[in-house]
A and B are shown apart, each in its own frame.
Chain A
Amino acid sequence: MALWLALILPALPLQLAERALPGIGPLAIVEGPPQRLNVIHCNAPAQAVGVVPGMKVAAAQALARELVALERHPEREQAALAELAGWAYQFSSHVVLQPDGLLLETGSSERLFGDRARLHRAIVTGLADLGYRAAFSYATAPRTARVLAHLARTAGQAHADPEQRAPSLGPPPFAGEDELHRLPICSLEWDAATNETLHALGLVTIGDLLRLPRDAFAKRFGAARLDDLDRVLGVRADPQLLYEPPAHFHAQLELPADISETAQLMFPARRLLASLEGFLRGRNAGATELVFSATHSARRGAALAPTAIMLALATPERDARRLAALFGERLARVQLPAPALTLTLTVERLHAFSAINASLLPPSAHDGDVGVDWLQLAETLHARLGSERVFQLQAVDDHRPERAWCALPITIGDEPRTAPTSITSTPRPLLLLPTPQPLPAHGEQPLYREPLTLVAGPERIECGWWDLASPAAGSPACAVHRDYFVARNARGQWLWIYRELAAPRGWFLHGLFA
């Protein structure tokens, strides 16, 4: 049986500002021509000092000096609703975008989530994670659900606030026909003129309308109104234009207060990641590359480039908590050149997500739940320290010692890396100096802290003359002509040293047999 859930987000512009940052002070959303800005929504701290919707912004600012007045941006509200629809797509494939809310067909997906109550709980807690409050109602027809949700919205915010409503209550029971008859006409959301006319006629409830003769009603108020009434009753087909999720994820949060410290970005980032998780769940996908971008206000007339914060993962991931933990580590390396105004999250490519445990071994009792997996460890280290500081090593087929290895970015997988068999038979040191260190010599005897005794060698390494690339500063030498020795000093340090074959015939320390 089809079951429709109507969600209405009351005071959406205010919610958009409030969900971006925790604990903001008096806040008002204003609208109108620049000279006559009117308050249309205000939050609880603003109401506490006496600001009410409909007030002039100047009057409101006189009441609360620290009042933040934000202009309404209808296009941002639409973008936020579209983002919310992308999030809601995880609960139902039938999502309908409406000007101030959503419609979801949940009847066919409730078994996927267990039962109706669990699905409802998942939606309510998910909305709370996103920072939204919504009025919602279930009904068998979309128009009916919408009417009931509108009633729930006007009935009181307490009913609509998901945090105050215990999520365990389960879905509100949907109304029978006689309950619909008792609803006031205003819940139909018809235009004000029609409502006034009906009111003047002494018609108050939907039941009053239904008692009128149908053809006379159609003649007086138009056939469209009659059709709408039929849809409310669920007796007329009501096809809906379904939402289709986009191919990539893009979400933006306007920050109502300037953010200058990176730690403060965590809160809006969590909201974005919660939205991303829902979107990815709906698409059964995971992300490997997340791009956060913080825009800044222009400083001294010059526009500042946005700060991009990349998050790269080894395997597709969508768990918001894990991503938030990684983002937190990544933030340690970020500096904001100026206070941030907006935070954007973009995921261009979606990857197939397989929901296997990252570790196939069952967690032992000893591990508890505190263990981090190997993969997560690699990503955490990588996120905090960057790819230059977290790496893997690989042996390379080359006779020149400094070219016989290379550092690689971490790739985690089970595919065995082709390990070249050692092309030398003589022992190599476990530690190598990145640049050979010149050693002083006393006559023919080199010194490192103390005179060195040569115990093995020479091993002549003379190669690389074909490598014509000019050696850049700091890069390993191209052609080497050296005699390598194993040396030992009185402190017991075993060293790998060489002597240049070319003219000054200097001694160099290259490795340590650690």
Chain B
Amino acid sequence: MRAATELLSLLHTAVGTPLWRADERPVDEACGPTLASGFAELDRELPGGGWPQGQLIELLTDDAGIGELSLLAPALAQLAQARRCTVWVLPADTSSTVRTASALEAQAVPYAPALATAGLDLARTIFVKPATPRENLWALEQSLRARHLGAVVGWLPAGGHADSDFRALRRLHLLAQRHQALAFVLRSTHHAQAPSPAVLRMLLTSNGTQLALTLLKRRGRPLLEPITLTLRPAHWESARVEAETAPRVLPAATALLDTQRPMDALLT
């Protein structure tokens, strides 16, 4: 270790110019334009300090509801501020009659009041609900061809062959590079080991209350330990409520009952 430090100082004096070390932060200038993710912990680790624009970003997650969309919401809200448009390509209809939890979660639609509260511009957002996985890829491709688009959020079909998946992703990646849109694709964690052309790959898991991001791939040196983000209101973290066994009568209803008493008195 001492030898290494000595070698470094020697190099410093020999080369004279500032030396970039592979374990330092990645060089910001090397990557293209980025958009701040809105989470300081994450931006610190992303090359360029934010989501790379015009590059495919792959988010691997199995369970809906761990905060995968809350992670994107600040960036999408920023784009809404800039009056940029967004396309969401929702999971394709599943033909299988097997009622698994993931099939149920794939049916869920983005909920307009929550999106509006998160700062998204619904008037500039198009939602696509494809019928087949093929339409899913087609819609993503078409969206990435559009100029001036702010972001594309798309769920990729769960299972094809690894090769065909790679080819499809490669096409999306090439299309994403034409413009400056944020291109998020959500996939199952089964694909974590599969090769991918995306420049940023994240495995999204939950440690119970927080969202844990494992960067499988990024420009620059790899990051070994996951980043944890707190997405929920603080009072939810520790709170624990009990469901009552019997429905309580609402205070308002009690007040209503109370007001009837003087009436009764008048009548009698």
Contacts and interface: CB of A to CB of B under 8 A. Distances in A.
Contact of B235 (A391, A456, A505): A456
B112 A366 contact: no
Nearest to A505: B247
Interface in A386-415: 388-396, 401, 404-407, 410
B261 interface: no
Contacts of B178: 366-368, 370-371
Contacts of A485: 241, 243
Interface string A484-514: 0110101111110001010001000101111
Contact of B113 (A363, A405, A488): A405
B145 interface: yes
Interface string A92-135: 00000000000000000000000000000000000000000000
12 contacts: A361-B148, A393-B112, A393-B127, A394-B122, A430-B70, A432-B109, A434-B108, A448-B101, A455-B241, A456-B236, A492-B210, A493-B206
B108 A392 contact: no
A381 B235 CA distance: 42
B67 A390 contact: no
Nearest to B208: A492
B107 A492 contact: no
B126 A419 contact: no
Chain B interface residue number, banded: 35 or more
A99 B191 CA distance: 69
B43 interface: no
Contacts of B149: 374, 377
Interface in B126-179: 126-131, 135, 138-139, 142-143, 145-149, 178-179
Nearest to A457: B241
A428 B117 contact: yes
Interface in A438-471: 444, 448-449, 453-458, 460, 462
A371 B63 contact: no
Contacts of A431: 64-65, 69, 105, 108-111
Most chain-A CB neighbours within 10 Å: which of B111, B236, B244? B111
Nearest to A380: B142
Given A366-B179, A394-B122, A494 B113 contact: no
Given A393-B110, A492-B63, A430 B118 contact: yes
A444 B145 CA distance: 51
Given A428-B113, A430-B111, A455-B236, 7 more contacts: A389-B131, A393-B122, A430-B73, A430-B118, A449-B101, A512-B105, A512-B108
A364 to B, nearest CB: 9
Contacts of B254: none
Given A373-B146, A390-B127, A494 B65 contact: yes
Contacts of B240: 453-455
A486 B236 contact: yes
Interface string B18-59: 000000000000000000000000000000000000000000
A381 B139 contact: yes
Given A381-B139, A430-B118, A394 B112 contact: yes
Chain A interface residue number, banded: 35 or more
Contact of B142 (A377, A434, A457, A513): A377
A390 B125 CA distance: 11
Contacts of B110: 393, 430-432
Nearest to B93: A389
A458 B243 contact: yes
B242 interface: yes
A475 B129 CA distance: 19
A430 B145 contact: no
A16 B70 CA distance: 60
Contact of B127 (A392, A449, A455): A392
B128 A389 contact: yes
A490 B105 contact: no
A254 to B, nearest CB: 33
Contact of B145 (A377, A394, A404, A491): A377
B256 interface: no
Give me the 8 closest cross-chain CB pairs, A-B, nearest first. A492-B206, A371-B147, A512-B65, A405-B112, A431-B108, A432-B111, A493-B65, A514-B69
A300 interface: no
A460 B233 CA distance: 20
Interface string B206-245: 1111110000000000000000000011011101111111
A21 B210 CA distance: 63
Nearest to B250: A460
Interface in A468-485: 483, 485
A392 B125 contact: yes
A432 B113 CA distance: 10
A173 interface: no
Given A371-B178, A394-B122, A501-B247, A430 B112 contact: no
Nearest to B204: A492
B66 interface: yes
A427 B233 contact: yes
Contact of A428 (B87, B111, B127): B111
Most chain-A CB neighbours within 10 Å: which of B69, B139, B236, B247? B247
Given A393-B112, A431-B110, A495 B65 contact: yes
Contact of A514 (B68, B135, B208, B244): B68
Interface string A352-391: 0000000101010011101111101110110011001111
A12 B245 CA distance: 86
A488 B209 contact: yes
B146 A513 contact: no
B3 interface: no
B257 interface: no
A509 B247 CA distance: 19
B114 interface: yes
A458 B118 CA distance: 22
Nearest to B146: A377
Contact of A404 (B113, B122, B129): B113
Nearest to A382: B126
B67 to A, nearest CB: 7
Nearest to B253: A462
B116 interface: yes
A378 B149 CA distance: 11
Contacts of A390: 126-129
B109 A514 contact: no
A213 interface: no
Interface string B78-112: 00000001010000000000000100110111111
